[in-house]
Structure 1
Amino acid sequence: MTPFVPGTALRIEGRAGGPLSGLTFAAKDLFDVAGHPTGGGNPDWPKQYPVPTRHAWAVQALLDAGCTLVGKTITDEVSLGILGENAFEGTPLNPAAPGHVPGGSSSGSASAVAQGLCDTALGTDTGGSVRVPASFCGLYGIRPTHGRLDLTGMLPQAPTSDTTGWFARDAATFARVSAVLLQEAVAPARPTKLVIATDAFGFADPETAHALQPLLDRLKRLVPDWREEVMAPQGLSAWSRAQRTLQPVEAWETFRPWVERDNPRFAFSVARGLVLGAMTPLADREWAALMRREARGRLRHLLPPGTVLATPTTPFPAPRAGLPLPVLDPLRAAINCLCAHGGLAGHPQVSIPGARVNGLPVGLSLLAARGADAMLVGTTLSLEDA
């Protein structure tokens, strides 16, 4: 299926002579594009959201850099999803794994880049929504340091975790786009130390951990000073539970006025998540806030300047599309265990393609200290020659 939102064909030329001139991009349908509705992946959202008169900051930044906008892309409803299936707009094609989900909620953006319909695409990442589709579609993807980018014109979900991210098929394009959006020069980089998250690799399916080993070996050649460490001493599932407590509560706070006023239509899984957020006890929220504090302290300890932490991006490749909820729910829970640190601690993370399990892509992720986004992107350039 096309990754573009039905009925929203558009083209806006980038500024001539910019550093991204000649490249094209698409924007997830959570980003405002002047004169076009922001659909949010839900048929009722645009009815109460005025047609924007200005581009979102990230859209404007790419246009100013010379990149041409070629469309808006399908998203899980108001970004409340991780697999990329939208009950109203459909499931975009995963060209790297036909018949399998593309990953969400930035599903259409990943699909458009993976299909070669554009060179890069904007997504958002709250609980994994760039990292997961990057892994499932075999792309480079980034979740920047939380709070680094201007999110003006981006539909929020859970503000203490929300970020803008982007995709590319190759490291060179990824670096060019990253330099523009990070507003910082990106050059090949060689970290001084490497930490391998043994609990994350142990949590991944054995086939996935095995498939990532050649990429990990290249990384070790690039960074000979490496060691193994446990990323989450409290348990990956404890970090996941904390994020799955905090994020739905914030999402409910974000969408509550709209839900209570308009009683909009939702897929069951989306409505269920909002209801759970509304019903979360104060004691659970307080526990989750403390666990977030512990996670932040742990990653600060593991990631001093110059250090990168390696994990599988996802515990397995893309599941089949169209699976029933009882099958999907444990898969979502497992994915969250390898993504929760993003929303909890806010460190930058890039997902690197290059591994396959039975022909299906899986990504290797690198994390670094907050603010070290450009170094992470530069490492992907150096890894090409390792």
Structure 2
Amino acid sequence: MQDRINAFVPGTSVRIEGKPGGPLSGLSFAAKDLFDVAGHPTGGGNHDWAKNYRVPTAHAWTVQALLDAGATLIGKTITDEVSLGIFGESAYDGTPLNSAAPDRVPGGSSSGSAAAVAAGLCDTALGTDTGGSVRVPSSFCGLYGIRPTHGRVSVAGLMPQAPSSDTAGWFARDAATFARVSAVLLQEAIPEALPTKLLIATDAFGFADEALAAALRPMVERLSSLLGASEEVLMAPPGLSVWGRAQRVLQPYEAWQTFQPWLESANPRLAFTVARGLIAGSQVTQEERNWANLMRQEVRGRLRYLLPAGTILCLPTTPFPAPLRGRSVPDQQADRDRILCLCAHGGLAGMPQVNLPGSMVDGLPIGLSVLGGPGTDATLIAVAKAMEEKR
């Protein structure tokens, strides 16, 4: 395979055939370089990481599940350094090409996986989502993508970042493939029945760029007509920025806890933005964590109240389309903060979310997300299928 879009980890060659006769036979997949593949280093997007850790002798659970179902692994994909990024620009391995918007970032930290699927190099790919790392590239690259219910899909063999928020997700270009892969990884058949009520998060739509919110409106109307009932609600009464602040306390602190032993023993080379984030995590106080944990409880309570059985909520996946590649660090910061405000509920509440492609702003892909209560992952996949069929 020729990697014409810089999606795969340079200098690596991985191909493992899936078991014949499985439900995913004939499909190919790639795995973000946070997932263990037996006999191959797990690089984590940092050239010093693999030097300090053994080569795995077993596949990550998700990799093994896809192989057992018949899919063929074709490579390991580039990730933002130790998964601490949201735009997909790697200081070590370069930026994968967003084939849907070549002058724009693909989104991170699952940048290579999203880019590989968008370019048709594989049918599906594994990514991770802690603070938005499947949801954001799904929106920027025009893909189906899922952040599953926290704890629903095993993260065994997955390099951690912030364990209370870490999830393993996946991408696909079409809803049929997305459903096939989801049934295997969720270990559940995708139902025919759909939810009966749609909530529209007016604060999230108001927070997004006006052009993006307007472009998503036809998708919202189609979704509303599909389910039969809709209602406008405030998703985050304290404010999306307050939810974002809570996640900005909890996630960096956990990342510091995860990487501190490595940092202190190996003194690795780090990109400035990654080092800055880890230092910030090391300085989070107990008082800040106490407040953020209370806010996490409030977020969970609010979303449980909004999302009883049979109800889902929709919101823009990102507040804007993919930004230009190669911007300065200060230019990126405001966009990073805005993205976090629309993604923080994932790590705080741990509820499943699926990005639905199908709209554009100025020729750039954007996504509409559907969010459900804990364990409604398969129902959200059913919504994705129904939406594609209704186009």
Q: Is the 8 A contact 2:104 2:323 kept in 1?
A: yes
Aligned residue type for 2:287? A
Map of 1:325 onto structure 2:
329
1:188 to partner: Cα distance = 3.5
Q: Distance in 2 between matches of 1:122 and 1:291?
A: 30
Q: 2:222 aligns with which of 207, 215, 218?
A: 218
Task: Count residues with an aligned counterpart.
Answer: 386
Map of 2:383 onto structure 1:
379
Map of 1:99 onto structure 2:
103
Map of 1:193 onto structure 2:
197
1:223 to partner: Cα distance = 1.4
Q: Distance in 2 between matches of 1:292 and 1:204?
A: 23
1:8 to partner: Cα distance = 1.0
1:304 to partner: Cα distance = 0.4
- Name the SS for the 2:327 alignment partner: coil
Map of 2:358 onto structure 1:
354
Aligned residue type for 2:220? L
Q: Distance in 1 between matches of 2:208 and 2:146?
A: 20
- Name the SS for the 1:384 alignment partner: helix
Q: Is the 8 A contact 1:189 1:382 kept in 2?
A: no
- Name the SS for the 2:389 alignment partner: coil
Q: Is the 8 A contact 1:3 1:107 kept in 2?
A: yes
Q: Is the 8 A contact 2:149 2:351 kept in 1?
A: yes
The question of 1:166 aligning with 2:170 is answered yes
Q: Is the 8 A contact 1:144 1:164 kept in 2?
A: yes
Map of 1:36 onto structure 2:
40
1:99 to partner: Cα distance = 1.0
The question of 1:203 aligning with 2:207 is answered yes
Q: Is the 8 A contact 1:127 1:161 kept in 2?
A: yes
Q: 1:144 aligns with which of 143, 148, 153?
A: 148
Which structure 1 residue ranges, 4+ long, deviate > 4 Å from structure 2? none
Q: Is the 8 A contact 2:6 2:94 kept in 1?
A: no
Q: Distance in 2 between matches of 1:317 and 1:123?
A: 20
Map of 1:235 onto structure 2:
239
- Name the SS for the 1:25 alignment partner: strand
Q: 2:64 aligns with which of 50, 60, 64?
A: 60
Map of 2:73 onto structure 1:
69
1:385 to partner: Cα distance = 3.0
Q: Distance in 2 between matches of 1:221 and 1:194?
A: 9
- Name the SS for the 1:100 alignment partner: coil
1:283 to partner: Cα distance = 1.1
Q: 2:51 aligns with which of 44, 47, 60?
A: 47
Map of 1:119 onto structure 2:
123
Q: 1:5 aligns with which of 9, 13, 21?
A: 9
Map of 1:335 onto structure 2:
339
Q: Distance in 2 between matches of 1:384 and 1:306?
A: 20
Aligned residue type for 1:376? L
- Name the SS for the 1:14 alignment partner: coil
1:10 to partner: Cα distance = 1.4
Larger deviation: 22-31 or 208-217? 208-217
Q: Distance in 2 between matches of 1:164 and 1:379?
A: 20
Q: Distance in 2 between matches of 1:258 and 1:221?
A: 52
Q: Distance in 2 between matches of 1:177 and 1:350?
A: 14
The question of 1:27 aligning with 2:31 is answered yes
Q: Mapping of 1:301-316 within 5 angstroms? A: 301-316=305-320
Give TM-score scaled by structure 2 length.
Answer: 0.98
Q: Distance in 1 between matches of 2:387 and 2:112?
A: 27
Q: Distance in 2 between matches of 1:243 and 1:144?
A: 18
Q: Is the 8 A contact 1:189 1:381 kept in 2?
A: no
Q: Is the 8 A contact 1:188 1:379 kept in 2?
A: no
The question of 1:296 aligning with 2:292 is answered no
Q: 1:109 aligns with which of 102, 113, 116?
A: 113
Give TM-score scaled by structure 1 length.
Answer: 0.99
Q: What is the alpha-carbon root mean square deviation over aligned residues?
A: 0.6
Structure 1 residue runs of 5 or longer lacking an equivalent are none
Q: Distance in 2 between matches of 1:90 and 1:99?
A: 14
Q: Mapping of 1:79-98 within 5 angstroms? A: 79-98=83-102
Map of 1:286 onto structure 2:
290
1:187 to partner: Cα distance = 3.4
CA-to-partner distance for each residue in 1:173-224, whole Å, 9 max, x for gaps?
0000000000000133321111000000000000100111111111011012
Aligned residue type for 2:213? A
Structure 2 residue runs of 5 or longer lacking an equivalent are none
Q: Distance in 1 between matches of 2:301 and 2:294?
A: 11
